[in-house]
């Protein structure tokens, strides 16, 4: 298999991989295949070998061998090239929140010095919008994590094998197919006829759209109908990778970063997760009020998932008990790390019929993502529950100022006795 020619078209999912792979396959007049799963499996094998080597090192023993052996690469290539001749175009799309396809390719490339990689890139906003349309059941946070993880894995791949990797922007395919076909021809060593086939295919087969109106330049957050919590989450998860790639997020970004996060917007967008509760929007209540009515006496839990605090360190909310609540009805408010599950806040409040509880609590060192969990823990029956009045996450005073405030409150309490 050493003489076989392999061209891999890789990058974040929904970045134009299929269109570019089709153009290269047309130029070479060779088949194209999806190698995403095979490369991800290779990464899993390499990770298992790395963990094994770490255990050997802990015992003071020499590692058993390389993470990926030439024999493993030969077996993988034999499977991929079966029936394909001596040249193959491979598609490799990174879809999941934790990169595995591009790291698998990173393990393979050192064993294939003649292989070439076309690394696709696309603006984060366009990519996430396209992913939301194609994978609507995947959580919003997962789309953001998948794009940023793929960008990081792509950078690592390009840094490790710069002579084998060529970065290609999807925008080039749409607006500058001629110069792009010249770049591809030079990188892949195509003759004039093959370069003409690349250009013809690029002009005839445009990448799938994002659902945004086509316009001049990349979109901005102001053009999207996402909620403020979603925009804040996007900026927190994708912002660093966008900055490294020189991508703009539009004029609204700073305003979003400073704005309070009204968590009721997550319910409006269908992100609120409920178990044993029904969501209602009482017309007589102020805007932003969520009525969470229990289906019975069993577990009754509402989760506002994957909130990006991004410097917002104070949670404010007001709860009131519904008329069907018993005298001993109680609710619990918890804030936990989405990934770490570390507890940031836990407070129980009494919520009998007509009872009101107001919370204004500091969250110390909130993580990148957190969940707000509100549950009825006792004294509720079918028809009971609570009204949640405009829960909001805001930027509060720093820890030093909060300590000063607590000391002042304690002095006032002592002087009042």
Tokens of 43: 């990464």
pLDDT tens column, 363-399: 988 999 999 999 999 888 899 999 999 999 998 865 5
195 and 62 within one domain: yes
67 and 150 within one domain: yes
User: What does the pLDDT average to over 193-210?
Assistant: 85
User: Which band of pLDDT confidence, cut at 50, 70 and 90, is reported for residue 287?
Assistant: confident
Is 408 within a domain? Answer: no
Q: What is the pLDDT of residue 212?
A: 56
Is 411 within a domain? Answer: no
Is 253 within a domain? Answer: no
pLDDT at 214 over 80: no
Is 269 within a domain? Answer: yes
48: domain CATH number is 3.40.50.300
The DSSP element (H or E) to which 347 belongs, if any, is strand 343-350
276 and 200 within one domain: no
390 and 277 within one domain: yes
pLDDT at 296 over 50: yes
Is 382 within a domain? Answer: yes
Domain final residue pick, 155, 171, 204? 204
- Number of domains composing the chain: 2
Domain final residue pick, 178, 204, 230? 204
365 and 299 within one domain: yes
383 by Cβ neighbours in 10 Å (0-12 / 13-18 / 19+) ranks as middle
Q: In a 3-state reduction of DSSP, which class is residue 288? A: coil
What does 207-222 look like in DSSP terms, one character per residue? Answer: PPP-SSPP-SS---GG
User: What does the pLDDT average to over 353-372?
Assistant: 93
Is 213 within a domain? Answer: no
Q: What is the pLDDT of residue 1?
A: 34
Is 249 within a domain? Answer: no
User: What does the pLDDT average to over 99-108?
Assistant: 93
271 and 158 within one domain: no
265 and 137 within one domain: no
Domain final residue pick, 165, 182, 204? 204
pLDDT tens column, 9-62: 999 999 999 999 999 999 998 889 999 999 999 888 888 878 887 888 888 888
pLDDT tens column, 141-192: 999 999 999 999 999 999 999 999 999 999 999 899 999 999 999 999 999 9
Q: Of 312, 409, 306, which is closest to residue 364 (Cα–Cα)?
A: 312
- pTM exceeding the 0.85 threshold for the entire prediction: no
User: Which band of pLDDT confidence, cut at 50, 70 and 90, is reported for residue 225?
Assistant: confident
What mean pLDDT value characterizes the chain? 87
269 and 157 within one domain: no
180 and 37 within one domain: yes
193 and 63 within one domain: yes
Is 227 within a domain? Answer: no
Partners of 105 in the beta sheet?
none
Q: Can you give the residue range of the structural domain that contains 358? A: 261-400
317 and 170 within one domain: no
Residue 329, CB-side half-sphere exposure with 13 Å CA sphere = 31
Distances (CA, A) of 215 to 203, 211, 224: 18, 12, 14
371: domain CATH number is 2.60.120.200
371 and 288 within one domain: yes
Pairing of strands 356-362, 314-321: antiparallel
């Amino acid at each position: 298999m050493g003489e076989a020619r392999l061209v891999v078209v890789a990058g974040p999912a929904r970045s134009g991989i299929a269109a570019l792979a089709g153009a290269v396959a047309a130029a070479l007049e060779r088949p194209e295949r999806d190698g995403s799963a095979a490369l991800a499996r290779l990464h899993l094998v390499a990770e298992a070998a790395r963990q094994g080597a770490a255990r050997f090192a802990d015992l003071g023993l020499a590692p058993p061998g390389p993470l990926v052996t030439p024999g493993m690469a030969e077996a993988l290539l034999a499977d991929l090239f079966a029936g394909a001749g001596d040249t193959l175009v491979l598609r490799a799309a990174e879809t999941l929140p934790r990169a595995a396809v591009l790291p698998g390719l990173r393990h393979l490339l050192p064993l294939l010095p003649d292989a070439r990689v076309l690394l696709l890139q696309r603006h984060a906003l366009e990519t996430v919008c396209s992913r939301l349309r194609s994978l609507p059941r995947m959580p919003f946070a997962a789309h953001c994590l998948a794009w940023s993880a793929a960008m990081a894995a792509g950078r690592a791949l390009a840094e490790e094998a710069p002579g084998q990797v060529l970065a290609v922007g999807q925008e080039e395919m749409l607006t500058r197919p001629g110069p792009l076909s010249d770049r591809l021809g030079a990188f892949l060593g195509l003759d004039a006829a093959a370069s003409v086939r690349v250009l013809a295919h690029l002009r005839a087969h445009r990448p799938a759209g994002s659902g945004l109106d086509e316009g001049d330049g990349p979109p901005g957050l102001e053009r999207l109908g996402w909620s403020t919590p979603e925009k804040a989450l996007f900026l927190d998860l994708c912002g660093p990778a966008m900055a490294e790639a020189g991508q703009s997020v539009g004029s609204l970004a700073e305003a979003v970063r400073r704005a309070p996060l009204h968590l009721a917007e997550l319910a409006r967008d269908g992100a609120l997760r409920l178990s044993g509760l029904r969501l209602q929007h009482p017309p007589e209540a102020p805007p932003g009020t969520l009525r969470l009515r229990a289906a019975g006496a069993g577990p009754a839990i509402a989760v506002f998932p994957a909130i990006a605090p991004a410097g917002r360190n104070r949670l404010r909310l007001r709860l009131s008990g519904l008329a069907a609540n018993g005298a001993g009805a109680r609710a619990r408010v918890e804030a936990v790390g989405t990934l770490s599950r570390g507890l940031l806040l836990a407070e129980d409040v009494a919520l009998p019929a007509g009872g009101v509880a107001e919370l204004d609590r500091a969250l110390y060192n909130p993580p990148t993502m957190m969940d707000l969990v509100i549950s009825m823990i006792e004294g509720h029956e079918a028809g009971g529950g609570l009204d949640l009045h405009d829960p909001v996450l805001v930027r509060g005073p720093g820890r030093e100022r909060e300590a000063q405030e607590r000391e002042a409150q304690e002095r006032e309490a002592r002087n009042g006795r």
